[in-house]
Amino acid sequence: MKFSGIIKGTSLALLALFAASASQAQINDRTFRFATAGAPGHPAVMGAEKWSELLKQKSGGKLQLKVFSNGTLGGDLQVLSAVQGGTIDLTAMNSGILQSQIKEFAIFDLPFMFESGKEADAILDGAFGKKIAALLPAKGLVSMGYWELGFRELTNSKRPVAKMEDMAGLKIRVIQSPIYLDTFNALGANTVPMPFTEVYTGLEQKIIDGQENPFSVIETSKLYEVQKYLTVTNHIYNPQSVLMSKKKWDALTKDEQELLMSTAAEATKWQRENARKLADQSLNALKKSLQVTVLAPEEIAKIRAKIKPVLDKYSATAGPELVKELQTELDKGRAKK
C-alpha cells in the first residue's frame, strides 16, 4: 500500500510538472513596447514599470515590457494610432481622449463626475467599466484595465485664481479633447489645445499662461519652474485607459494573454495606491514653489452652473441613457456610505 501510494504521489507530481512545462511552453520570448507621454515618476510610468517587473518575474523572463516615457514615441493621438496599427504594443492615456473614436468615452471627461478615486474604482472595475471597455476591440484596441492619473487642477503664471471670474482671458492649455475646450471657454479662458510634450516649452515661452493637470504631473514634469499659481479645483477626475494593440493581442497564445491580464490587474492595484500617495506628496512639494489657492465651495457651485450647457452637450454625445446609468451607479455607492 505504501509503495502504491508512493507511485501514485510520484505520478501526480510528474503530471503537475508536465502540465507546468506544457503551460510554460506556450509562453514565447517577447518584448512589448509601452509608450506614454508622462515623465519618469509620472503615475502611468510608475505603473508600467511595476507591470514590467511583474511580467518578467512571472514569465521567467520570457515576457519583457520596455517603457518609453516622455513622449519619445509621440504624443497621445500619435501613439493611439500606432497602437491601433500594431507598431506600438501598449499605452496608457486619459480615457476621455478616446471619445474622438468612441463617443461613449466622453463620459469620463464630464466635469465633477467623481468625488474620489475609490468611488471611481468601483465604477471602472464593475459592470459599467467593462461595458465601456467592450467597445474598444472594434477600434483595434484591447482594454487591460484602468489606472489613475487623478483630479485635474489649474496653474498659471499671471495671477491667483480664487474665483471663477479670475480665469477670464487666461490662455490655458488643454488636452486635445472638445469637452476641455468648451469647459474652459465657457469659464472665460482662451483655450489652446496642445500635445503634452509641448506644454513646458509653451509655458516657458509664454505662448500659454497656464495649464490644468493633476498634482503629480505638475511636479514630475517640473511645470512649477514656469508657473507661479496653483488653484485646487478638482474639476475633472482622470482614469487612464491601459490599452493594447488588438493585432498584437490576437497574435499571443492563450497563456500569454492570461499572464498579461493577471499581471496588469496586479499592477493596477499597485498603481492606484501609489498614484494617490504621490498626489499627496506632490501637493506638499508644490507648496514650496507655487502660491496655492483652494477654490471655495461657493465658487465651485458657480463654475458648475456656468458649465451646465457643456455638461448637457456632452451628456448627449456620450448618450443620455449611459450618463443616467453611471449616475445611478454613483448614487448607489454614495447611499452605502
Amino acid (one-letter) located at 211: Q
Regarding whether 232 and 209 lie in a shared domain, the answer is yes
Regarding whether 31 and 175 lie in a shared domain, the answer is no
Examine residue 326 and state whether it is found in any structural domain, yes or no: yes
pLDDT in tens, 229-271: 999 999 999 999 999 999 999 999 999 999 999 999 999 999 9
Question: Residue 82 pLDDT > 50, yes or no?
Answer: yes
Regarding whether 310 and 169 lie in a shared domain, the answer is yes
C-alpha cell at 137: 476591440
Regarding whether 197 and 247 lie in a shared domain, the answer is no
Return d(Cα 38, Cα 322) in angstroms, integer.
30
Question: Residue 13 pLDDT > 70, yes or no?
Answer: no
Examine residue 191 and state whether it is found in any structural domain, yes or no: yes
Question: Residue 178 pLDDT > 90, yes or no?
Answer: no
Examine residue 18 and state whether it is found in any structural domain, yes or no: yes
The residue-averaged pLDDT of 213-231 equals: 96
Question: Residue 291 pLDDT > 90, yes or no?
Answer: yes
Return d(Cα 13, Cα 332) in angstroms, integer.
49
pLDDT in tens, 118-169: 999 999 999 999 999 999 999 999 999 999 999 999 999 999 999 999 999 9
Regarding whether 37 and 6 lie in a shared domain, the answer is yes
Task: Please report the pLDDT score of residue 106 as a whole number.
Answer: 92
Regarding whether 74 and 62 lie in a shared domain, the answer is yes
Task: Please report the pLDDT score of residue 333 as a whole number.
Answer: 87
Regarding whether 88 and 22 lie in a shared domain, the answer is yes
Examine residue 124 and state whether it is found in any structural domain, yes or no: yes
Regarding whether 129 and 162 lie in a shared domain, the answer is no
> Which residue has 520570448 as its cell numbers?
29
Name the burial class of residue 44, with classes exposed (0-12), middle (13-18) and buried (19+) by CB atoms within 10 angstroms of its CB.
buried
Examine residue 335 and state whether it is found in any structural domain, yes or no: no
pLDDT-derived band at 18 (thresholds 50, 70, 90) equals very low
Regarding whether 307 and 184 lie in a shared domain, the answer is yes
pLDDT-derived band at 25 (thresholds 50, 70, 90) equals low
3-state secondary structure the chain: CHHHHHHHHHHHHHHHHHHHHHHHHCCCCEEEEEECCCCCCCHHHHHHHHHHHHHHHHCCCCEEEEEECCCCCCCHHHHHHHHHHCCCCEEEEEHHHHHHCCHHHHHHHCCCCCCCHHHHHHHHHCHHHHHHHCCCHHHCEEEEEEEEEEECEEEECCCCCCCHHHHCCCEEEECCCHHHHHHHHHCCCEEEECCHHHHHHHHHCCCCCEEEECHHHHHHCCHHHHCCEEEECCCCEEEEEEEEEHHHHHCCCHHHHHHHHHHHHHHHHHHHHHHHHHHHHHHHHHCCCCEEEECCHHHHHHHHHHCHHHHHHHHHHHCHHHHHHHHHHHHHHHHCC
Question: Residue 22 pLDDT > 70, yes or no?
Answer: no
Residue 205 CB coordination number (10 Å): 9
Task: Please report the pLDDT score of residue 177 as a whole number.
Answer: 82
Most confident of 3-7, 174-178, 272-276: 272-276
The residue-averaged pLDDT of 25-36 equals: 93
Average confidence score pLDDT of the chain: 92
Regarding whether 262 and 166 lie in a shared domain, the answer is no
Examine residue 210 and state whether it is found in any structural domain, yes or no: yes
Question: Residue 7 pLDDT > 90, yes or no?
Answer: no
pLDDT-derived band at 12 (thresholds 50, 70, 90) equals low
Regarding whether 298 and 270 lie in a shared domain, the answer is no
Domain range for residue 307?
153-236+283-330
Regarding whether 86 and 7 lie in a shared domain, the answer is yes
Task: Please report the pLDDT score of residue 19 as a whole number.
Answer: 40
% of the chain beyond a pLDDT of 70: 92
The residue-averaged pLDDT of 4-8 equals: 47
9-23, 52-66, 78-92, 320-334: least confidently modelled range = 9-23
CATH number at residue 197: 3.40.190.170
How large is the C-alpha radius of gyration of the chain? 23
Examine residue 144 and state whether it is found in any structural domain, yes or no: yes
Examine residue 231 and state whether it is found in any structural domain, yes or no: yes
- Domains: count for the chain: 2
